[in-house]
């Protein structure tokens, strides 16, 4: 009996697959792939190689990806190292890996300047969770290996972690809802959970069904605690305690805090019931 692989996490198509899957999947050819690094602030990972294709997730600056094909239109097909998601990403957003990252962006977003002055026009913006390789400090700036100058207070050492992922999620209140989004410019429900947990050094899969299946241990609504994850089919929220929760949702089209009872009633009215509660601690 053939093994079934989740297509979201498996770099395999009928015409092409990763070499390490030889003998496990059927494909016309197998390739080793090349490791690359995201150099754009935020890069879309799409279902198909087209700008209007559905957004699966986003890759943040500094992330590594193994690419297996680049087409003539400038799209690369590959698998992200951080959460193993597979999709199409603009090849222009990638380069061969540079120095290993040393710091992450700890502000909701920051600006990169071409020199040690805030009066210079920024060259790019980086989102919360993006990583950079810092070589030195100068005049209150962290200077990256690529020559960018970032405000030092906006960065944290890569080895340091936030202590409260609920508090991290709360910083995103008001952020627009974006299917597949992972930044303060736009985020979806599972993206908010993933970004908040990653800031605390907790590995987290991308989609809500994966999160429900792998994170923490079972809990229940009656005994909700801060940090519990509440799941519906295709949706996840973070409990702030017994009475309120925070989630990115399409009803408000934003990251919002609302009473647990109100959210349960509103979502239940659409025919969707809670499928589970998971406790990480």
For 238-281, the pLDDT digits (tens) are 999 999 999 999 999 999 999 999 999 999 999 999 999 999 98
Average pLDDT over residues 104-126: 98
Q: What is the pLDDT of residue 165?
A: 98
> Mean pLDDT score of the chain, rounded to an integer?
97
Q: What does the DSSP 8-state code read for residue 12?
A: B
> What pLDDT score does 120 carry?
98
% the chain with pLDDT above 90: 98
For residue 173, pLDDT beyond 70: yes
Q: What is the dihedral of CA 62, 145, 125, 37, to 10 degrees?
A: -20
Q: Which H/E stretch holds residue 235?
A: strand 235-239
Q: What is the pLDDT of residue 1?
A: 41
Return the structure tokens found at 39. 């150099």
Mean pLDDT of 208-230: 97
Q: What is the pTM of this model?
A: 0.96
Which uninterrupted H or E stretch holds 212?
Answer: helix 208-214
Backbone CA torsion sign across 223, 271, 213, 178: negative
In this prediction, what percent of the chain has a pLDDT beyond 70?
Answer: 99
The gap from C-alpha 17 to its chain's centroid, in whole angstroms, comes to 24
Please report the pLDDT score of residue 3 as a whole number.
65
pLDDT, position 281: 81
Asked if residue 235 has pLDDT above 90, the reply is yes
The token duo for 74 is 């400038």
State pLDDT tens for residues 116-126. Answer: 999 999 999 99
4 pLDDT more than 90:
no
In the predicted model, what is the mean pLDDT of residues 86-98? 97
């Amino acid at each position: 009996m053939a093994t079934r692989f989740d297509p979201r996490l498996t770099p395999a198509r009928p015409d092409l697959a990763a070499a390490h899957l030889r003998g496990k999947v059927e494909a016309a050819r197998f390739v080793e792939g090349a490791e690359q690094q995201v150099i754009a602030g935020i890069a879309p990972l799409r279902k198909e190689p087209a700008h209007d294709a559905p957004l699966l997730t986003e890759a943040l600056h500094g992330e590594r990806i193994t690419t297996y094909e680049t087409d003539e239109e400038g799209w690369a097909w590959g698998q992200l190292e951080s959460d193993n998601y597979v999709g199409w990403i603009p090849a222009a957003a990638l380069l061969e890996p540079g120095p290993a990252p040393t710091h992450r962006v700890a502000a909701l977003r920051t600006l990169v300047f071409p020199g040690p002055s805030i009066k210079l026009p920024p060259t790019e913006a980086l989102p919360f969770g993006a990583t950079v390789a810092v070589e030195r400090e100068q005049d209150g700036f962290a200077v990256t290996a690529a020559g960018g100058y970032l405000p030092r207070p906006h960065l944290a050492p890569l080895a340091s972690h936030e202590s409260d992922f609920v508090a991290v999620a709360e910083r995103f209140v008001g952020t627009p809802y974006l299917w597949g989004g992972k930044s303060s410019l736009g985020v979806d429900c599972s993206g908010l959970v993933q970004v908040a947990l990653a800031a605390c050094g907790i590995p987290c899969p991308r989609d809500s069904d994966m999160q429900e299946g792998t994170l923490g241990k079972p809990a229940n609504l009656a005994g909700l605690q801060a940090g519990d994850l509440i799941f519906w089919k295709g949706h996840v929220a973070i409990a702030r305690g017994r009475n309120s929760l925070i989630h990115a949702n399409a009803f408000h089209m934003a990251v919002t805090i609302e009473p647990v009872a109100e959210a349960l009633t509103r979502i239940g009215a659409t025919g969707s019931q809670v499928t589970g509660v998971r406790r990480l601690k």
